Amino acid sequence: MAARRDPLAEYNKRRDFKETREPKGSRSRSRSNRKRFLVQEHDATRLHYDFRLEWDGVLKSWAVTRGPSLNPQDKRLAVRTEDHPLAYGDFEGTIPEKQYGGGTVMLWDTGWWEPENDPDEGLREGKLTFHLHGERLQGSWALVRMRPRPGEKRENWLLIKEGDDIATEDGEILLEDHQTSVTTGRTMDEIAAGEGERKKHVWASNRSTSENLRAGAVDPPSTKQSKSPTLSTRTISEGQRKRKEASAVTPETPKPATKSRGKSQVKAAKASSTKDSSSAAEETVLGVRITHPERILFEGQSISKLDLARYYAVVADRMLPYAVEHLLSLVRAPQGVKGPRFYQKHASEGFPDEIKEVPVTESSGETENYMYVRDAKGVVAAVQMGTLEFHIWGSRFDKLETPDRLIFDLDPDEGLDFAVVKTAAVALHDALDEIGLKSIPMVTGGKGVHVIVPLVARATWPEAKGFAKTFAQGFAEREPDNFVATMSKEKRKGRIFIDWLRNERGATAIAPYSTRARSGGPVATPISWDELSALEAANGFRIPDILERIESGIDPWRDLAKVRQSLTRKILDKLGVEDVD
């Protein structure tokens, strides 16, 4: 019987491990049930990004010449390279100049991946589709092999972003926003110079303001007046703001200096107390100082940063019952929806005290600090840091392993009418009701509907995921022409994807009453089943609409706290549910 070819023979052949600190190639088993992916920025002969997927005990690897793009129209050349050992996924440093691939290597992103087709078949046939769960790369992607030209020896593929909620026309945002290591916080220059680990997102005095912002560092409070032009119009009228938001705005009160505050911050606080309280630079909401208050965040609605902070101060009473002490991930866009944006799930140095931190053990066994808020001040503080979207875990941090809700995200294929989505949501509601579970709807501010099942936090995450998967797949099997329960874009044509994957530990979903980082500032809005039938779109609610609903006393989820239900053994057995890790 012929010996199996060593997939790492080529890797080992190309390297002198007496000269390079790269790990020696040996096949190994995964440390987790999840398959890892990673991206390493590599400044070798020319700068490129090495994209690696864990499969069959090694890292399948491609060199992406221009780096990944969030624009589905950008088809990035990805040259297949030799397989790398799993240990290479932790490598960051400098390869000696005369060694193969000599140059600086930075761990740019890391996480886990889910194949949407059989990876072995995809690698053979030349099309691999998958879902990424990374710090920076997320959503659906594809690798497609190009037809070789005569005499061409290298294997050329294309890395392509699939169209989903994460895709954007400005594909370069990703690389512009993230220029530091995802693990050590260092820049390429700092790695090349051999400097030690830097805490992530720390404002570096040796970088310019623009460099710090592109690297995701925290923007220190500015004492200068915003240069944004005075707004001639407001979607939220001054009268409306006075009625709804006056109680949320307080006079500027400088905080006493503490050891954690720099001299410039103390000086700024003293200076602000001597100025006229009407100055835009001194606006505060719930005691949180709002810098650049006149900066327009949503162009279509002319919503400024101050408007947004005031909105959240008002809506917090409605939002917090579902978001308080749930771990948060934030979509930050300090310049507004037309500027760069980035997704942040770990707490950073320099964040306001109102945003709390708690250590959480991840599936890898490592511990990271995650964010949460306890009150309206925390929500407003997140807005001060440029947050446009709030995404929450399905469990409170004090009961992290037992979710207090299930979410079925109905994601329609492009071109499907919203009326079809509404019909589908009602059908899910009826099916859940038949097995004894009440559900409530929320329009997402995008194109879909969330069918949410409130729970008493008793069932474990594997039980919740097992139920959600079994329920969604059963639904899709009964109506295959209308529904699909897999993320494959090809299978989704003309159908609605019942996304059940939000029902696992670490997954997040948009929070009720959160704005969306999209033109016009749509809001994820809780509604009633009766209201759903009259809606024309999932993104029809804007900030003024929410404020009007609050003023009119409309609260479709008012009695939600009275719902006491859980995933009982009887319900799980009825569906034949098996736990899913």
Tokens 């859980």 belong to residue: 566
Where is average pLDDT lowest: 149-153, 222-226, 281-285, 549-553?
222-226
pTM, rounded to two decimals: 0.57
How remote is the C-alpha of 548 from its chain's centroid? 29
Residues in the chain: 581
Read off the pLDDT of each residue in 455-466 and give the average, rounded to a whole number.
94
Res 579: pLDDT: 67
Q: Any idea what DSSP says for residue 88?
A: G
CA dist 404 and 396 (Å) reads: 8
Q: Any idea what DSSP says for residue 461?
A: H
Label each residue of 335-402 as H, E or C. Answer: CCCCCCCEEECECCCCCCCCCEEEEEECCCCCEEEEEECCCHHHHHHHHHCCEEEEEEEEEEHHHCCC
How remote is the C-alpha of 92 from its chain's centroid? 24
Whether residue 216 contacts residue 178, with contact meaning beta carbons closer than 8 Å, is answered with yes
Read off the pLDDT of each residue in 537-543 and give the average, rounded to a whole number.
95
Work out whether strand 58-64 and strand 75-84 pair parallel, antiparallel, or are unpaired.
antiparallel
Res 214: pLDDT: 39
Res 261: pLDDT: 31
Res 346: pLDDT: 83
More confident position, 94 or 491: 94
Q: How confident is the model at residue 31 (pLDDT cuts 50, 70, 90)?
A: low
Where is average pLDDT lowest: 156-160, 380-384, 573-577?
573-577
Res 547: pLDDT: 92
CA dist 102 and 78 (Å) reads: 19
Q: Is residue 208 scored above 60 in pLDDT?
A: no
Res 79: pLDDT: 96
CA neighbor of 379 nearest in space, from 537, 514, 182: 514
Q: How confident is the model at residue 32 (pLDDT cuts 50, 70, 90)?
A: low
Res 349: pLDDT: 66
Read off the pLDDT of each residue in 206-230 and give the average, rounded to a whole number.
36
194 φ/ψ angles, rounded to the nearest 5 degrees? 75, 20
Res 242: pLDDT: 37
Structure token digits, residue 105: 């290597």
Q: How many CA atoms lie within 13 A of 450 on its CB side?
A: 25
Q: How confident is the model at residue 276 (pLDDT cuts 50, 70, 90)?
A: very low
Q: Any idea what DSSP says for residue 195?
A: -
* 264 CB-contact burial (10 Å; exposed 0-12 / middle 13-18 / buried 19+): exposed
What percent of the chain lies above the pLDDT cut of 90? 61
* 422 CB-contact burial (10 Å; exposed 0-12 / middle 13-18 / buried 19+): buried
Q: Is residue 455 scored above 60 in pLDDT?
A: yes
Residue 462: in which H helix or E strand, if any?
helix 461-478
Q: Is residue 135 scored above 60 in pLDDT?
A: yes
More confident position, 418 or 292: 418
Contacts of 437 (CB under 8 A, 6+ apart): 453, 565, 571
Res 199: pLDDT: 45
Structure token digits, residue 123: 């690698």
Res 300: pLDDT: 74
How far is CA 192 from each of CA 177, 325, 453, rounded to the nearest angstrom? 20, 40, 51
Q: Is residue 285 scored above 50 in pLDDT?
A: yes
Read off the pLDDT of each residue in 153-165 and give the average, rounded to a whole number.
91
Work out the mean pLDDT of the chain and round it to a whole number. 83
Read off the pLDDT of each residue in 287-311 and give the average, rounded to a whole number.
89
CA dist 513 and 409 (Å) reads: 16
Sign of the torsion formed by the C-alpha atoms of 297, 180, 78 and 166: negative
CA dist 289 and 226 (Å) reads: 14
pLDDT in tens, 179-196: 888 888 889 999 999 887
405-575: CATH number: 3.90.920.10
Contacts of 210 (CB under 8 A, 6+ apart): none
Domain extents in the chain: 9-178, 220-399, 405-575
Res 299: pLDDT: 79
CA neighbor of 137 nearest in space, from 261, 41, 33, 16: 41
CA dist 428 and 409 (Å) reads: 11
Res 236: pLDDT: 40
Q: Is residue 460 scored above 60 in pLDDT?
A: yes
Read off the pLDDT of each residue in 538-555 and give the average, rounded to a whole number.
93
CA dist 203 and 134 (Å) reads: 23
Res 283: pLDDT: 84
Res 239: pLDDT: 38
Q: Which residue blocks in 171-262 are alpha helix, DSSP H? A: 173-177, 188-192, 209-214, 238-245
Q: Is residue 200 scored above 50 in pLDDT?
A: no
More confident position, 450 or 280: 450
pLDDT in tens, 464-506: 999 999 999 999 999 998 999 987 767 778 899 999 999 999 9
Q: Is residue 224 scored above 70 in pLDDT?
A: no
Q: How confident is the model at residue 154 (pLDDT cuts 50, 70, 90)?
A: confident
Structure token digits, residue 567: 């995933």
Read off the pLDDT of each residue in 100-128 and give the average, rounded to a whole number.
94
